[in-house]
Amino acid sequence: MRRTVPALLVLFFCACSFAASAQSQSAYGFLQLNGRSTRQNAVISWQTIQELTITQFNIQQSSNGMDFETVGTRSAVYDTTEDRHQYQFTDVNAGTRGKLMYYRLEIAVNNGRMLYSKTLLVRFDESGEAQLSIVPNIVRSMLPLSIESKEETGAQLHIIDLQGRVLQTRELQLVKGMSTQSIDVSSLRSGSYIAVVSAPGLRLQQRFFHQ
């Protein structure tokens, strides 16, 4: 039976480790979360290393990016080696429930805590067009980007204010399909900004609000 979980707490992770705290980086071994659509199925994959305290992964889905329900579980390998562990979960016929689905991991650790990954957007439309999404688009310190690309390529991210001034520039590496990035924007003042992702033959932009 699926369990509905309100999205009360979301800890965003960078592509290399937890972004929550120094303790998180050393005590937990979550590395990366990716998702893609295959016909009507959503394939969610992730990597870990040195699973010191992780006991279980709950794969959660939402149609609005706010209210999540658990659609599957995976037990952690639980070891202390430097080996990377690959996990995968297929949400069968997810595309029949909507063209856009949001996914995250609820991560159970052996002290009873539940931690949450960044939110991942999976599209089921057939356009194949490159797209940029920011969910949620109201942020405090970390900017969550979901970028769908037709090919693997390098790209640049520019954070621009509404006067057109470039405030931050970052180099990105996009994969074919959906890739996710968490960008530190804690230095920005409160207000509206535009995230622009550019590469040869590609320009994507989305507005977000920094609290």
pLDDT digits over 106-119, tens only?
999 888 889 888 88
Alpha-carbon 24 to chain mean position: 17
Per-residue pLDDT averaged across 60-77, rounded? 91
Q: pLDDT-derived band of residue 190, with 50, 70 and 90 as boundaries?
A: very high
Does the structure show a pLDDT above 60 at 19? no
Which percentage of the chain shows pLDDT scores above 70?
A: 81
Q: Rounded to a whole number, what is the distance in angstroms from the first to the last CA of the chain?
A: 37
198 vs 80: which has the higher pLDDT: 198
- Give, in order, the Cα–Cα distances in Å from 190 to each of 21, 31, 141: 23, 30, 11
| pLDDT for residue 2 | 46
Backbone angles phi, psi at 27, to 5 degrees: -90, -20
d(CA 190, CA 178): 29
Q: Is this structure's pTM higher than 0.85?
A: no
Q: pLDDT-derived band of residue 54, with 50, 70 and 90 as boundaries?
A: confident
Per-residue pLDDT averaged across 125-144, rounded? 79
Choose among 5, 28, 22, 17: nearest CA to 107: 28
Q: pLDDT-derived band of residue 51, with 50, 70 and 90 as boundaries?
A: confident
| pLDDT for residue 59 | 96
Enumerate domains of the chain plus CATH numbers: 4-123 (2.60.40.10), 131-210 (2.60.40.1930)
Highest mean pLDDT (candidates 23-37, 156-170, 196-210): 156-170
Cβ(12)–Cβ(37) below 8 Å: no
Highest mean pLDDT (candidates 9-13, 38-42, 196-200): 196-200
| pLDDT for residue 9 | 27
